[in-house]
């Protein structure tokens, strides 16, 4: 079944389901599927979400600071929803690679965006699922009765990451700051060595294993026998579908970004590139050299971008005259072995969140799953299709099952649109919302892996007032 899956996933024909027991993806809002019960007593809704265009790092955003991107996402959200800033009770914002000058970037971005001084904000970090964590933290605050209206989001700015002095140099400078006399300072200076000047460069690597995520992805693809050709084909699929969505005007979550002190306005993502499969096949391995299968073309790229969304109780939305896009029905976080199963979060999260919500794989109309690497996505699909994996690693009697791939990441994903780590969760959520409207579906499932062997699964339901604009 898994081999058939990998053949079908690259056909790019979304009219045909690859699953024998699922209906065609275009259908009316279901009355047959069970309605997921609200567990909070608040009917918490996702009103809308926006993002700046996602750009390759080192391009147009390079001269900026991350809080400037976050500021524009927050301003864009309030303009799109037409909600006064004073109505917002609290802001939860995510970031992964932190700019030290704006350590609580949620607060700094909110102030820059014109929110009242009285609106508290805090910053969360959970690697690639940081803005998912922002959303679910907001759910918790609303469910607890603390607040009614929450803004959540995330920003990542890989064009300018912090580079530190070596630890030896930092220690020397700190001690020099405490030196009282010229003699004390001379004694410290005598301990200086040239190697103190070697900087510490940031690396996208796991602290617990020292292994880069790309290296882990290569090992994972090998473990599940995912070929280089399959990965390249999936990458072409992602870019092709993203290009189609961009051309059709479906990416309505983007708010144009006017560069400061410039007349240039950025209006679309710049990483979407549909290339011939034979061109991808010529690229060399990026991590496990020379025989690895993960390349620059079948991996997500370093991206700058920010996102923001508005969540609240349904009652509050009605009071404000808003038309929400989604009910936020259920969520779960998972953790597993960060070495051999670093990127299998979707496999572990999917059955848990489906069971919590009382749904099955076949009830899901829209799947939006983070694409860190093509090999990671295909390994997850194979794991979900394996009884052996379910029984030996997940303490389950049978496999999760294969999603209907005609409903899977139909507007592309992180491989093509881009992946600013902490901003992706909101992008996944608003794409789920807008796809549910355009594809006339009811339930969506959002899933992602994250550093540390963690992952998230979220169940959302289309709101009857939802639009795709």
Residues annotated as part of the active site: 128, 449
Q: Distance (Å, rounded) from C-alpha 425 to C-alpha 133?
A: 8
Distances (CA, A) of 346 to 271, 273, 333, 370, 371: 24, 26, 10, 9, 10
Greatest distance between any 2 Cα atoms in the chain: 83
Tokens of 151: 């803004």
Report the candidate in 102, 159, 107, 151 with the shortest Cα–Cα distance to residue 131: 151
Cβ neighbours of residue 5 closer than 8 Å, sequence gap 6 or more: 18, 381, 382, 385, 402, 405
Distances (CA, A) of 18 to 10, 21, 227, 304, 324: 11, 9, 20, 35, 32
Q: What angle do CA 327, 241, 383 make, to 5 degrees?
A: 70
Say if residues 276 and 232 touch (Cβ distance below 8 Å): no
Say if residues 271 and 419 touch (Cβ distance below 8 Å): no
**3 sits in which H/E element:** helix 2-8
**354 sits in which H/E element:** helix 345-357
H helices present in 10-104, as ranges: 66-81
Is the omega angle on the peptide bond into residue 290 within 30 degrees of 0, that is, cis? yes
Running DSSP on this structure, what letter comes out for residue 366?
E
Say if residues 451 and 263 touch (Cβ distance below 8 Å): no
Give the SS3 label for residue 241.
helix
**310 sits in which H/E element:** strand 303-313
């Amino acid at each position: 079944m898994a081999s058939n899956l990998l053949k079908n996933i690259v056909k790019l024909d979304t009219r045909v389901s690859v699953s024998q027991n699922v209906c065609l993806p275009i259908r009316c809002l279901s009355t047959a599927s069970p309605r997921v019960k609200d567990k909070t007593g608040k009917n918490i809704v996702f009103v809308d979400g926006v993002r700046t265009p996602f750009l390759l790092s080192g391009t147009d955003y390079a001269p900026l600071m991350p809080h400037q991107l976050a500021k524009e996402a927050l301003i864009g959200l309030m303009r799109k929803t037409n909600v006064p800033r004073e109505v917002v009770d609290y802001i939860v914002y995510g970031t992964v690679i932190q700019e030290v000058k704006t350590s609580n970037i949620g607060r700094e971005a909110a102030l820059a965006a014109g929110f009242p001084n009285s609106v508290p904000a805090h910053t969360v970090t959970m690697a690639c699922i940081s803005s998912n964590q922002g959303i679910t933290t907001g759910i918790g605050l609303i469910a607890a009765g603390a607040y009614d209206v929450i803004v959540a989001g995330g920003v990542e700015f890989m064009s300018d990451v912090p580079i530190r002095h070596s630890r030896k140099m930092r220690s020397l400078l700190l001690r020099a700051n405490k030196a009282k006399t010229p003699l004390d300072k001379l004694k410290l200076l005598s301990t200086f060595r040239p190697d103190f000047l070697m900087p510490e460069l940031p690396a996208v690597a796991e602290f617990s294993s020292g292994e880069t995520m790309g290296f882990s992805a290569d090992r994972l693809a090998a473990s599940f026998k995912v070929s280089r050709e399959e990965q390249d084909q999936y990458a072409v699929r992602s870019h092709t579908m993203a290009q189609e969505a961009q051309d059709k005007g479906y990416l309505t979550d983007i708010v144009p970004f006017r560069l400061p002190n410039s007349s240039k306005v950025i209006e679309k993502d710049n990483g979407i590139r549909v290339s011939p499969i034979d061109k991808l096949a010529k690229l060399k391995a990026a991590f496990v050299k020379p025989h690895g299968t993960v390349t620059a073309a079948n991996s997500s790229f370093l991206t700058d971008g920010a996102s923001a969304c508005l969540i609240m109780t349904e009652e509050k939305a009605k009071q404000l005259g808003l038309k929400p896009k989604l009910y936020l029905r259920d969520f779960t976080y998972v953790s597993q072995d960060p070495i051999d199963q670093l990127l299998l979060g979707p496999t572990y999260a999917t059955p848990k969140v489906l069971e919590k919500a009382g749904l099955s794989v076949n009830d899901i109309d829209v799947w939006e799953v983070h694409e860190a690497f093509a090999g990671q996505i295909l390994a997850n699909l194979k794991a979900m299709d394996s009884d052996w994996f379910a029984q030996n690693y997940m303490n389950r009697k049978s496999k999760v099952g294969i999603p209907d791939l005609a409903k899977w990441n139909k507007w592309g994903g992180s491989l093509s649109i881009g992946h600013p780590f902490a901003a992706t969760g909101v992008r996944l959520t608003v794409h789920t919302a807008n796809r549910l409207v355009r594809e006339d579906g009811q339930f969506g499932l959002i899933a992602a892996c994250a550093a540390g062997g963690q992952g998230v699964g979220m169940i959302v339901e289309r709101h009857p007032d939802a639009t795709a604009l």
